[in-house]
Structure 1
Amino acid sequence: MPTGVAIRDAREQLFDAAERILLRDGPSALTSRSVTAEAGCAKGVLHRHFRDFDGFLAELVEDRVVRVERLGAELRENAGNGTVADNLAEALTAIFETVAVAIVSLVTFRDELRARIRQQRPSGLPILTEAGNLIADYLAAEADIGRVAATADTGLLARTLIGSGHLLFADRTAPRPRLEAVRGLVTAVLGSALTS
């Protein structure tokens, strides 16, 4: 795109471009030049909206955390509807089919980014920590209505689901796991905690 041509929603276009690169090529391929080329804009557009590249990446992570939080709100609204296993399988697929796995490798790959994120989020891995908390909240809501055992450790179950889901989706070069495989993982992890 020629210099001086305005692009609409530049921040979102740059975030989406970075996500595509992460999913396709991994964190080592992510540079300011690759992001702007993928977004189809001049390199200066990124620097006009963000102080530096790690600042851009930190805001990308925060933007994707907000998306996961929206998924969590939808998941909580599903408490009592459908089956617990189906609701969780769909939620895990939505989390991991997007950028969650790539964000983990990106944060691990870039020391400066990790340091910036630690200023806002002192513990855990971005997106995975929030997703675990949201799943724990959902499981607690299901326990309140009797579809999950009241004695279940919802926090432990949620962390186990996140860790297992992360491993299931971790290889970005392999075909994506089918929903049935994710449902099987959920059923295995929850085991006797499911009451219906």
Structure 2
Amino acid sequence: MPTGVALRDARRQLFDAAERLLLRAGPHALTSRAVTTEAGCAKGVLHRHFADFDAFLAALVQERAAAPAEAAATALRARAGTDTVAGNVTDALTGFFTPVTVALVALITFRDDLRARLRATTPAGIPVLTEATAALAAYLADERDRGRLPADAAVDVLAPTLTGTAHLLHADRTTPPPTREELRRTVATLLP
């Protein structure tokens, strides 16, 4: 690799390279050497910006999954009382389960050291899925409080059920994700 070449935004370049590799070849393809080769930089660049490869991967998860999930959760809560509950949940699940976030969930479950590092911010469950579940639970509780779901709706059961079902529908890397209508029909079936 060439040395002495200035990189405009090394972190972004490395994250973009890791995302491309993850989408193209899956979590087993992510190594520090593969990422830096894909980014077109020396391996030392990664270690100049991150303590180790798991620190890089944790930052990747934060930037590419956690921050967008937080934005989607905020948008979902703002939609309480509008449109249909099934439509709002469908839109939120579509936002949570992008190809990148689905691939990141696979990466998190694939790498024990990464999962252990992420426990600092997500002490239980699998990061990304846990945040999606929490957002859905808060939204469903809002809708229940507004009377748009039955008063006895068990949002603590519904939220992980919806998250897990949506993840299963999106997790297969060999087939296209479900259409919005397929996902909406599933959501409508699960909601009381």
- TM (norm. structure 2) is 0.90
Residue 37 (1) aligns with residue 37 (2): yes
Matched position secondary structure for 2:108: helix
Match of 2:23 in 1: 23
Alpha-carbon displacement from aligned partner over 1:111-148 (angstroms, at most 9, x marks no partner)? 22122222443211001001100011111111222222
Gap change, CA 1:176 and 1:152, over 3 Å in 2: same
Letter aligned with residue 138 of structure 1: Y
Gap change, CA 1:158 and 1:129, over 3 Å in 2: same
Gap change, CA 1:9 and 1:86, over 3 Å in 2: farther
Q: Give the distance between the partners of 1:119 and 1:161, measured in 2 at CA.
A: 25
Matched position secondary structure for 2:97: helix
Q: Give the distance between the partners of 2:157 and 2:134, measured in 1 at CA.
A: 10
CA deviation after TM superposition for structure 1 residue 47, in Å: 1.3
Alpha-carbon displacement from aligned partner over 1:62-117 (angstroms, at most 9, x marks no partner)? 22212211110011111122221121112111211233322222122222212222
Q: Give the distance between the partners of 2:4 and 2:150, measured in 1 at CA.
A: 60
Match of 2:68 in 1: 67
List aligned pairs for 1:95-134, cutoff 5 A.
Answer: 95-134=96-135
Q: Give the distance between the partners of 1:95 and 1:108, measured in 2 at CA.
A: 17
How many pairs were matched up? Answer: 191
CA deviation after TM superposition for structure 1 residue 44, in Å: 2.3
Gapped regions of structure 2 (runs ≥ 5): none
Letter aligned with residue 110 of structure 2: F
Match of 1:146 in 2: 147
Letter aligned with residue 106 of structure 2: S
Q: Give the distance between the partners of 2:79 and 2:41, measured in 1 at CA.
A: 40
Match of 1:160 in 2: 161
Letter aligned with residue 98 of structure 2: E
CA deviation after TM superposition for structure 1 residue 164, in Å: 0.2
Match of 2:80 in 1: 79
Letter aligned with residue 98 of structure 1: P
Q: Give the distance between the partners of 1:185 and 1:17, measured in 2 at CA.
A: 34
Q: Give the distance between the partners of 2:81 and 2:127, measured in 1 at CA.
A: 28
Q: Give the distance between the partners of 1:104 and 1:158, measured in 2 at CA.
A: 17
8 Å CA contact 1:103–1:126 kept in 2: the answer is no
Q: Give the distance between the partners of 2:59 and 2:40, measured in 1 at CA.
A: 20
Gapped regions of structure 1 (runs ≥ 5): none
Matched position secondary structure for 1:80: coil
List aligned pairs for 1:1-12, cutoff 5 A.
Answer: 2-12=2-12
Letter aligned with residue 115 of structure 2: R
8 Å CA contact 1:65–1:127 kept in 2: the answer is yes
Matched position secondary structure for 1:99: helix
Matched position secondary structure for 2:119: helix
